[in-house]
Structure 1
Amino acid sequence: MWRGAAAICVNENKQLLMVLQGRADEEKRWSVPSGGANSDESYEACCAREVWEETGYKVQVGSYLHEKSGVSRGTVYKVKYYETQVEGGVPTLHDPDGLIYDIQWKSANEIEELKLTYPEDRKFLMEYVTKGESPIRYRSNPLTVRRLTESDASLLHKWLNDPEVLRYYDGRDRAHTPEMVQDHFYPEEDRLFRSILEYDGHPIGYIQFYLLDDEGIRYFRLEESDGTRVFGTDQFIGEPDYWNRGIGKQLMSSMLRYLEEEHQVSRVVMDPQAWNERAIACYEKSGFRKVKLLPEQEWHEGEKRDCWLMEWRAVIPIL
């Protein structure tokens, strides 16, 4: 697996540090300073080194933002994005690979028009430069999982009034009013990681995950958690045009990696209804396994439905 780091450095004028890069025979495009990590190098050290090599600036590496993963030309990659702050140095073209042709600070308006090395970064970069923060939890190209916002209420209302979606999530007798959306997804006190799923920047679904408390342990009828962190999860794709395209498996697999790496989770559980064989098959392909049948676990379309308790466990439990 190829692993690397990328630097997000914004100055007092709300401009982002960017470099024009490319091989001699390629069209030159813009990106943030980034590159591959050496075998014995941390992501943070890689980030600082790449900024120095590509721009001549010395930076302090700050908060971790999120991870982007995927496959490019047959190679699996993982890039971690960090906030950085300039502490010294001057703009200098001394990249050891000879791939950097210019160094500039770019505004959000300029970023909107630039030819980017990684076009999938555009929305994130513009939002970060403008607001100084990002709602992204993680990216697994072409998927993005970001925090739920108030402006997403209309999306949830649309999806949860679609009979095709409701057949699998909440039931066709549970079309949601705007008030129900607010009560269900926007409680005043909330411990859930509520998120929107995007495909190439287009919102297509919802996912939530949460650390199980004692009530959650009882709901799933679990035995003792043996000291490991146990999370629950629920999700749906609200745009039927995106069904049967392998997105569910990619979403679940990437979520498990995110929870294991960023939240030190060793065990994730869910309880799909037993009749929903398509969803169960998707979860099994993602690494979940059936544990036991939960009779009359969930009320759905006028009757109690059996569910399967399914779980995923980390190869090496994190205690």
Structure 2
Amino acid sequence: MELRGDRVVLRPVADGDAEVLGRIVREPEVAAWWSPPEDFRGKLAVVFAGEVIGAIQFAEETDPEFRRAGIDVFLTARYHGQGLGTDAVRTLARWLVQERGHHRLTIDPAAANTAAIRSYRKVGFRPVGTMRAYWRNHRTGLWQDGLLMDLLAEELT
């Protein structure tokens, strides 16, 4: 599987990607929102100009009565603020809607992660509500709020 966005390519994480993704997820700007995963299997590498710059993942609910998918993404700080995360999320969202048949997508950034929230709004995600004490910050051990955002298929930009 390879998904082409306007500027990025999404492809399954390969064996050689783990080292670079491990470095990225430990960057202070990324580690503020992501705890390092045990491994990167099942995720898609975000590739820009031939370079792995991050990863994106999705989880699907396949029960026909609740069919939906959730998305999560991280990029190296060097490429923050350049629209590449927005392109990656939009590319995966289109695939989840058009190819996998999901009518609703969710994303749940930390409520304080204003840059991510701004990016997700550009794709069409809308805030649904604040999830109080939603995730534990692996650096501080404190519970943090999350923002639940969703996107219906017909709202995808």
Match of 2:75 among 212, 237, 240: 237
Structure 2 Cα separation of the partners of residues 265 and 155 of structure 1: 31
Unaligned runs of 5+ in 1: 1-135, 171-175, 187-192, 214-224
Residue pair 1:228, 1:266 contacting (<8 A) in 2 also: no
1:208 aligns with 2:63: no
C-alpha separation in 2, matches of 1:279 and 1:164: 12
SS at match of 2:17: helix
Q: How does 1:37-76 map to 2 (within 5 A)?
A: none
1:231 deviates by 0.6
User: How much has 1:241 moved relative to structure 2?
Assistant: 1.7
Contact in 2 for aligned 1:296/1:306 (Cα 8 Å): yes
Equivalent position SS for 2:56: strand
Structure 2: gaps spanning 5 or more residues: none
Mark the structure with the bigger radius of gyration: 1
Q: Please give the alpha-carbon distance, in whole angstroms, between the structure 2 residues aligned to 1:306 and 1:161.
A: 21
Paired position in structure 1 for 2:150: 311
Give the counterpart letter for 2:40 in structure 1: F
Q: What are the Cα deviations for residues 179-225 of structure 1, in whole angstroms up to 9, with x where unaligned?
A: xx5x3434xxxxxx510000121110100012137xxxxxxxxxxx8
Aligned length: 153
SS of residue matched to 2:33: coil
1:155-166 pair list within 5 angstroms: 155-166=20-31
SS at match of 2:43: strand
TM-score (norm 2): 0.87
Matched residue of 2:54: which SS? strand
TM-score, scaled relative to structure 1: 0.45
**Counterparts of 2:148 and 2:30 in 1: how far apart (Å)?**
22
In the alignment, the residues of structure 2 paired with residue 244 and residue 140 of structure 1 have an alpha-carbon distance, to the nearest angstrom, of 17
Identity across matched positions, percent = 28
1:269 and 2:124 matched? no
Please report how far the alpha carbon of residue 236 of structure 1 lies from its aligned counterpart in structure 2 after TM superposition: 0.4
CA contact (8 A) 1:230 1:267 kept: yes
Q: Which residue identity is paired with 2:72?
A: D
Q: RCO (CA 8 Å, sep 6+): is it higher in 1 or 2?
A: 2
Give a deviation string over 1:2-40, Cα, whole Å, max 9, x none.
xxxxxxxxxxxxxxxxxxxxxxxxxxxxxxxxxxxxxxx
* C-alpha deviation, 1:228, in angstroms: 4.4
Query: d(CA) in 1 for partners of 2:52 and 2:59?
Result: 21
Aligned residue for 2:86? 249
Determine helix, strand or coil for the equivalent of 2:2: strand
Deviation at 1:226, TM superposition (A): 7.4
Alpha-carbon distance in 2 for matches of 1:286, 1:258: 13
Candidates 39, 45, 48, aligned match of 1:196: 45
Report if aligned partners of 1:228, 1:265 keep a CA contact under 8 Å in 2.
no
Partners of 1:244 and 1:169 in 2: CA distance:
17
Cα distance in 2 for partners of 1:198, 1:137 equals 10
Cα separation, 2, equivalents of 1:306 and 1:142: 32
CA distance in structure 1 between the aligned counterparts of 2:87 and 2:25, rounded to whole angstroms: 23
> Contact conserved, 2:7 with 2:84, CA < 8 A, in 1?
no
* Displaced runs of 4 or more, over 6 A: none
